[in-house]
Structure 1
Amino acid sequence: MSDAKIEVMLWSDPPDEPSEELREAQAKLRRLGFVLATAVMVGTLVLLVR
């Protein structure tokens, strides 16, 4: 026999959602990624036009 644990989720269990702090961090990283991608594109255009 193995010691595998079977986890059962009951209807009364809270949803498995990230905490408010984690959601804020994810939103910041998403915005940072967008800003960084935009900056790289603008920088590339500036170098190509010169």
Structure 2
Amino acid sequence: MLWSDPEDEPPKELRETQAMMRRVGLVLALAMVLAMFVLGLR
């Protein structure tokens, strides 16, 4: 337990990466919905 991280707390880089991936996923989902809407109007 001396040199290992606490189990419930991932490292800072991993948390930042997870947050970024969540944002990217959200943007991608919104883009897909928008594309479906635009294609549906034509």
Q: TM-score, normalised by structure 2?
A: 0.81
1:15 to 6, 14, 19: 6
The alignment-based identity, stated in percent, is 53
Q: TM-score, normalised by structure 1?
A: 0.69
Query: Greater helix share, 1 or 2?
Result: 2
The higher-RCO structure (CA 8 Å, 6+ apart) is 2
Aligned pairs, number: 38
**How far apart are the structure 1 equivalents of 2:27 and 2:11?**
25
Q: Unaligned 5+ residue runs, structure 1?
A: 1-8
Q: Does 1:43 align with 2:35?
A: yes
Q: Unaligned 5+ residue runs, structure 2?
A: none
C-alpha RMSD of matched pairs (Å)? 1.6
